[in-house]
Structure 1
Amino acid sequence: MRRAERLFQIIQILRRARGPVTAAALAEELEVSKRTVYRDVADLMGQRVPIEGEAGLGYVLASGYDMPPLMLTPDEVEALVLGAQWVMGRNDTVLAAAARDVIAKIVEVVPERLRPYVLEPSVGARPMLPGQDDAIAPAVLRAAVRDGLKVRMRYRAESGEETERIVWPVIVGYSDTLRMLVAWCELRADFRHFRTDRIMEAAPLGGHGLRKGELRRRWEAWREKVRPRP
């Protein structure tokens, strides 16, 4: 890794971290010595990058610091391309169009040397297998998640039984073959996973009243409790 790329990567590591990052952790991820990390961090500070902390305690990047857009490495470009390819194959027309637009924007703004990584990537995602045909546009469910809305829906179980539910959507999950709505179900008084191709009708209602992010935190805690242990 060239020194310029290493300095950029240090900023990226600190940016994504939720707390101080030690020189030892930086050295392990960058595959260099701690002495090299100390020297690189000192150089970044000398260039007025707002890194706080010191050797032995860890480093943090001051909040509010940003870098010029799309200063990407080849691996980061291919990661974006792979993600966009995967999204384009999920049978979600709105997200697929958004993914194509993202790729077009990346091509326009990255340096010339990075464009081959977008136009001729070394990675590829397999399209979703055909078969799931949703009666409800996924965009309706995603909007309910973003806006914190309850949804009244008619759901058909695998047995064919249909029930009316009021749910609090948490996230729309995608796999290679299925799309699932994860939600708190008022009927069952618990979190449930609903195949979106079995949602026959759906209409957004008022908000569920929880603070932004609280429903997701409760779902994550529930998931930890029910997740099978190895």
Structure 2
Amino acid sequence: MARTDRLMRLMEALRRLKPPVTAARLAEETGVSERQLYRDIATLRAGGALIDGASGLGYTLTEDPALPPQSFSRLEIEALVLALGALDQMGDPALAKAGRNAVARIAATLPDRQARQAMHPVLHAWYPPGERPPVTVDLGLLRQACWDETSLVIRYRDLQERVSERPVWPLSLSYSERSLMLLAFCRLRQDFRVFHVSRIEHAEPGGESFRPRRVSMLRDYRALRQARYMAEVRRRSDPAP
């Protein structure tokens, strides 16, 4: 692991774990030996991080100079924490972990009173488990293709149980408690399609770039949806012949 990545993981662990955190726990979290952990703590301290504690006592991050001071209202803190907490039910494990790390990072930049508000139990909302079908495809691959604006080749089983292989331009992922959908431009059908991710049986990189068309295609899709919606409204409001 690169030194910069290792130090970043150590800082994230110090923000996220309840202090004081033992060297053994930090070493486990960052995947290094305790001997290396002590050297990394010394490196962070030399760089300006205020880390209290010592070997045998545990460590507490009291100030992180890499993050600017933040100030939020209590309502803004509640909105951030509850929204990120929803990822435990609506997101995949990688997104859920990223959400928890983000909460810890935000809390590390707040004044003491606001930091306590961010971690207060009243904000730990419980969401009832959804009925979303299991996903077997690599969601990291789908997200990366969306960001990189590169094509995918997917094997898809539709709602009529028909299987087809389709080259697609992935545009965005839509999360909810009951479904996870992929909006894409299907190169086979030459049209926008919304795929149930649980029905994607296989996905691999297609090697085709569609940059920088993603933003304009999303705009086109929204305009198309709006036009279809308005046409349906007019159809329902027109008197029957």
* TM-score bracket for the superposition, by shorter chain length: 0.5 to 0.7
Give the equivalent residue in structure 2 for 1:108. 108
1:31-83: CA deviations, max 9, x gaps?
Answer: xxxxxxxxxxxxxxxxxxxxxxxxxxxxxxxxxxxxx6522111111111011
CA RMSD of aligned residues (A): 2.1
* Greater alpha carbon shift after TM alignment, 113-122 vs 176-185: 113-122
Q: Distance in 1 between matches of 2:134 and 2:79?
A: 29
Unpaired runs of 5+ in structure 1?
Answer: 1-67
TM-score for both structures, normalised by structure 1:
0.65
Alpha carbons 1:78, 1:122 under 8 Å: kept: no
1:221 to 217, 223, 234: 223
Alpha carbons 1:184, 1:192 under 8 Å: kept: yes
Give the letter for the 2:152 counterpart.
Answer: V
1:83-117: CA deviations, max 9, x gaps?
Answer: 11111222501101100101111221111111233
Aligned positions of 1:167-206 closer than 5 A: 167-205=168-206, 206=208
Number of aligned residue pairs: give it. 163
TM-score for both structures, normalised by structure 2:
0.62
Give the letter for the 1:85 counterpart.
Answer: G
Alpha carbons 2:171, 2:214 under 8 Å: kept: no
Alpha carbons 2:181, 2:197 under 8 Å: kept: yes
Q: Distance in 2 between matches of 1:135 and 1:164?
A: 16
Over the matched positions of the two proteins, sequence identity in percent amounts to 31
Alpha carbons 1:78, 1:121 under 8 Å: kept: no
Deviation at 1:192, TM superposition (A): 1.1
Aligned positions of 1:133-144 closer than 5 A: 133-144=134-145
| Cα gap change, 1:104 to 1:210, in 2 (>3 Å) | closer
Structure 1 segments (4+ residues) deviating >3 Å: 209-212
Give the equivalent residue in structure 2 for 1:117. 117
Alpha carbons 2:132, 2:180 under 8 Å: kept: no
Unpaired runs of 5+ in structure 2?
Answer: 1-67, 235-241
